[in-house]
Every structure is written in structure tokens, then in C-alpha cells.
Amino acid sequence: IGEEIIPMIEKISNPIVRTFYMKKLASILEVSENTIENLIFQLKRKKKQLSLNKIKYNKPVEDSRELTIDKYVLSVLFQSEDPNNIYRNVFEILKPEYFLHPSYEKISRLFFEEIEKNKKVNINQFGQNLSDELQPVFDEIFLFASTDHNLSNESLDRLIHEIKKYYFKREIKKILREEESLENKKQLVEISQNLKEVEKKLISL
């Protein structure tokens, strides 16, 4: 029944009437109004994504596991009924710069700043306030966790630590490409140690 009614509610322009039907559907399905609102939001995103398919942006050439994990973790965060709560679990471990793709880093940094400033984030409003460059990227990220892939069988905690592992490996490669210096050696030792700790953590998960 929800799959049939949600598209009808989504088309209602009058907010009072829409809220009335959202409450009614939530009561029938015995779920929260937030759940219904989230389903409507996802439907709007899917419709918007279809219309944005022609927009070109700097998308990764291929979805390596590293990029796929980045996208999946952010998608789980944004799709959550309580992104503010999951945010704590994610960004206690990750920093925005850990994400490989520049657009993912920008979006996560903006989300990070927004939630630190206001303590809560309305994910719908957050997506709408993004720049024209970032909106189609956000739409793709948001929908990603809904698609069929193997990552849904892996724990979020493990994937978060895997992102961290990839970041440290990138930093090590970056330092090795630079001219040798005392500062670089110190950084290399520190990052290598951090990488070992993350790899130990991954083994335990």
C-alpha cells in the first residue's frame, strides 16, 4: 500500500493536505511520520536524478572499491532517519579529507560544518542548499545505498576503517613521491604507524 500511496502524496502541493495524508498513511502502516517523509524525500530524489542524468560533472572514471565504499558510507549517513546520530559514529573516525573524490570531500566537509554549527541537519534542506556543481553528486550519493550491491552485507564500522586505511596509503604514496626531507621522514613514520593500527583494527572487526 505504501508503494502505491507515496507517489500520490508526493504530488500534493498543499502542505497541510500532504501532512494530513502522511499522518494517515503512517498510522495505517504503523510507522513514524519521519519514515513516510523519508520515503517521499527518496522518491523526489529519484525523480530529480532522472532529470539530472544529462548534467555532466567531474565523476570518477571508474568505481573502484575505494570510491564505492566512500559513496556507500555517505549514502547510509544521508539516508538515515537520524543522520545526526550516525554522523557521530562516522566522523569520530573519519575526516572529510579521507574521501578520495574531491566532490565527496566537499559535501562531507559542508555536512560536517553544518552539523557542528547547528547540531542538527535537515538533509533535504542541506541537499537543496548545495551548489549546482555538487547537487547532482549529492543526489547520486544519496540514492546509492538503495541500489543492489554487496556492501550492504558488510558492517559500517569496518567500511569506515577501510576508508581510513585507503587514505593513509594514499598519503604514504604522496610522501614517497616528494623529495626526501626530515619532515617527510617524520610524517612517513607517523602515517605508517597509523596505518598499522587501522589494519589491526580491521582484522579484529
Q: How many other C-beta atoms lie within 10 A of the C-beta of residue 55? A: 12
Residue type, 78: F
For residues 158-197, one letter each, b for 16 or more C-beta atoms within 10 angstroms of the residue's C-beta and e for the rest, the string is ebbbbbbbbbbeebbeebeeeeeeeeeeebbeebeebbee
Cα gap 160→158, rounded to integer Å: 5
Residue pair 44/37 in contact (Cβ under 8 Å)? The answer is no
Written as tens digits, the pLDDT of the chain (205 aa) is 456 677 777 778 787 877 887 887 788 778 888 888 888 888 777 777 666 554 444 444 446 889 999 999 999 888 887 777 777 778 888 899 999 999 999 999 998 888 888 877 888 888 889 999 999 999 999 888 887 567 777 788 899 999 999 999 999 988 888 888 888 888 989 999 999 999 999 999 7
Q: Which three cell numbers stand for residue 135?
A: 547537487
Predicted TM-score of the model (pTM)? 0.66
